[in-house]
Structures are given as structure tokens and as C-alpha cells.
Amino acid sequence: MNILLTGGAGYIGSHTALSLIENGHMVTVIDNLITGTKRLIPPKAKYYNCDIADSSSIKKILKENKFDVVMHFAGLTKVDESVNNPDKYNDYNFEKSKSFFNCCFENNLKKIIFSSTAGVYGDSSSQYVKETDEIKPMNPYAVSKSKVENFLIKKSKSEKINYIVLRYFNVAGADEDKRSGLISKSSTNLIKVICELATKKRKKMTINGNDYQTKDGTAIRDFIHVRDIADIHIVAANSFFKNFSSEIYNCGYGQGYSVKEVINEMENIIRSKLEVEIGPRREKDIAISVANSDKFKKKFNWKPKFNNLNYILKTALEWEKIN
């Protein structure tokens, strides 16, 4: 396949680009480096430094190449920032995506894979969240993603487009060969913070709330290794050529770990105690977010390769040590 991939200088996009190339596909990356890092783009990928909403450049790229599928990762990802600046998130994640997709449709690129988030479910009452559960995003970041989902659903009714929306749960880990991983100076990503602590880049960390209705009082999340997310994209892209219909899929393992369990696992790996304090809950944070991930697994007979918290933490730690 010839894939157009936005956000390929970012964490998940760069891993997916690597997997695609390893599997013999051609990849063209569009990224304006607003949060991305150029060296994460695989050397074998073609790269355009361009904003997804720069319609004249995008149209030119689309005319110069003939893409089979577009994978749209580009966007802003920080929930806290979105709460302080909702307009920016509406603009970057919704308006710019809309403009980008319209250019794609006009140029006959109509097979779309879109990076959405489990955040669209908000504080679901389900123990394992299903794709059919109610959508009630609780912050502007999740709202912006939900708006793009709705845009694609609506467009698929009026134009012949095919979409696959992937709702990621907590993406974590890094490439075992250390070619890519999470780079961010101000990440609030739990595993990133734990790795910074384990490599002594920070002195202590705060657990945001230990009074949730969970087994140890701390929040529970479903962590999925970034290489499995990359693999899901390849399976999803292939499905367009096997006459599968437009769908929405959860991307998680269907297994939850509490914040304390993740910290304990890292302490086992590094064989020392981490400096952890208890703080208040974060505003609008939810107690449990775990996927029901049966839909994708059953439809494509797909099995994750890296469903192992120890492996997720070790690969993230090794990446942190060299960055």
C-alpha cells in the first residue's frame, strides 16, 4: 500500500510508519513538527514539513502522489491544555482535520483511518467500555475527537468514503530497537512520568487521587503497547481492500492496571523504591477506563503481541534512558 500518514514525527505515527515500512508498504509523512521530532520519522519515509490545514500544499502533495489510504494521527493531545484552551483544540483537532479530509476527498483519497480516543466515552458506567456505549466526552480534547468522528460518519453517508475510527486507550511502551518512543518535556502520561522518575530525571511523582472506588483506591487504565497499535493500523488498512465496511473499534487489551500496580511493576524492574506522594484527584479524571476490545479481535482474528505490562515498562524505560 502507498500510505499518507499525518503526524509521523509523533509518538504513535512514527511507530506506525516504522511498522508499515517493515511490512513493505510505502509511507509519506506530513508533519509540521508542532509537537513532533523530525528524527522519529523513519529514514525510508518521504517527508513533507507541512500543516494539515495548508490546503494548497496538501492538494499539491495529493496530486503528486497516488495514495491508497490516509492515516490521520496529527493533532494536539493534552487534556489539561485543552481545558485551558478549548478553542485551540477545536481548531487544531477538528477544523484542521475537516479541512485536511476535504482535500483528501476532493482528490479521491477516500480510505481513512482516524486516531480517536477512549476519552469520547467520558465517565462510562461500563466495566469494559464497548463501541456502542454512550458518547459523552468530558473535556475539549475528547470533544474535538468526537466531532471528527461525527464528521466522518456524516460524510460517509453523502460521499463514497470508507473510514475506520480507532479509539485508543492508554498507548504506552516504545520500540524495542530504540528507534522511536515518547518524547515530551511536559508529558502527563503516567508511564512517561514513572520512567523519568526511574531514570532520575525527576525527583518524585504525585498519584492523582487514592480515593477512587477501585481495588487500591488509585485509577485503573488499559495500557496498550504502541507496536500493537501500529499493527492494528496495518490490519485496518488491509481491510479496506477486502470489502469491510466503515467501523469504529476500541484499541486496548481489555485488561486494567491501577496506577499503584504500574508503579510497583517499575519498582520491581529497577529493584528500588520510587519517591511517590499522594495528591488530589485531577479535575474530571475518571476512576476506570478499560476497553472491551472484542470487536476488532473477532472481526480480524487479531491477537496482540505485546500484552505484558513488564514489557511495556521495560521498553519505555530503555527509551527514556537514551533520551
- Residue 235: partners with Cβ closer than 8 Å, 6 or more residues away: 296, 300, 302
Q: What angle do CA 52, 151, 302 make, to 5 degrees?
A: 85
Identified binder of ligand NAD from the candidate list 42, 58, 62, 73, rule CB under 6 A:
73
Q: Which pairing describes strands 220-221 and 257-258: parallel, antiparallel, or unpaired?
A: antiparallel
Residue type, 153: I
By the rule CB under 6 A, 153 interacts with ligand NAD: no
Using CB under 6 A as the binding criterion, the count of chain residues that bind ligand NAD stands at 28
C-alpha cell at position 292: 472491551
Identify which of residues 64 and 211 has a Cβ nearer to ligand NAD in the complex: 64
User: 168: closest CA among 145, 147, 185, 190?
Assistant: 145
Per the CB < 8 A criterion, the answer to whether 293 and 229 are in contact is: no
Q: How far apart are CA 148 and CA 146, in angstroms?
A: 5
Does 12 bind ligand NAD (CB under 6 A)? Our answer is yes
168 is an interface residue for ligand NAD by CB under 6 A: yes
Query: In this chain, which of 3, 4, 10, 62 binds ligand NAD, going by CB under 6 A?
Result: 10
141: annotated active-site residue: yes
Cell of 109: 483519497
Among 5, 18, 36, 219, binds ligand NAD (CB under 6 A): 36
The active-site residue out of 92, 121, 128, 141 is: 141
Max distance between CA atoms of the chain, in angstroms, equals: 58
Task: Determine if 31 is a binding residue for ligand NAD (CB under 6 A).
Answer: yes
Which listed residue (4, 45, 62, 74) binds ligand NAD by CB under 6 A?
74
CB nearer ligand NAD, residue 102 or residue 217: 102
**Interaction of residue 139 with ligand NAD, rule CB under 6 A:** no
* Residue 131 within binding range of ligand NAD, rule CB under 6 A: no
Is there binding between residue 170 and ligand NAD (CB under 6 A)?
Answer: yes
Rounded to the nearest whole angstrom, what is the least distance from the CB of residue 243 to ligand NAD in the complex? 27
52 lies in the site for ligand NAD, by CB under 6 A: yes
- Which residue in the set 42, 75, 209, 256 belongs to the binding site for ligand NAD (CB under 6 A)? 75
For residue 29, the cross-strand partners are: 5, 47
41 neighbors 180 (Cβ within 8 angstroms): no
Active site residues: 141
